[in-house]
Amino acid sequence: MITISGQRRQQATNPIGESDYDLKGLSTDTKPTEGIAVNSLFLEVDTGKFYFYSSNNTWEEVGKGG
């Protein structure tokens, strides 16, 4: 199950810059692509991997959380 953390935010600092949404889910979840703002973050809670939603409308891995 994918959850959205908090509300839409305008200026939040994260490893890749600003993010509009923070989403969390499992690595087996299908990451959403409808209505997702560029630079939104997705955390795979079971692997610790972070992804951001790029201007190419794809989720791209940016690293692993500590």
pLDDT tens-digit readout, 4-63: 665 444 444 444 455 566 899 999 999 998 888 888 999 999 999 999 999 999 999 997
Instruction: Map out the domains of the chain as residue ranges.
Output: 3-64
pTM: 0.71
| Distance from C-alpha of 13 to C-alpha of 34, rounded to nearest angstrom | 23
Residue 21: how many other CB atoms lie within 10 Å: 20
| Distance from C-alpha of 28 to C-alpha of 9, rounded to nearest angstrom | 26
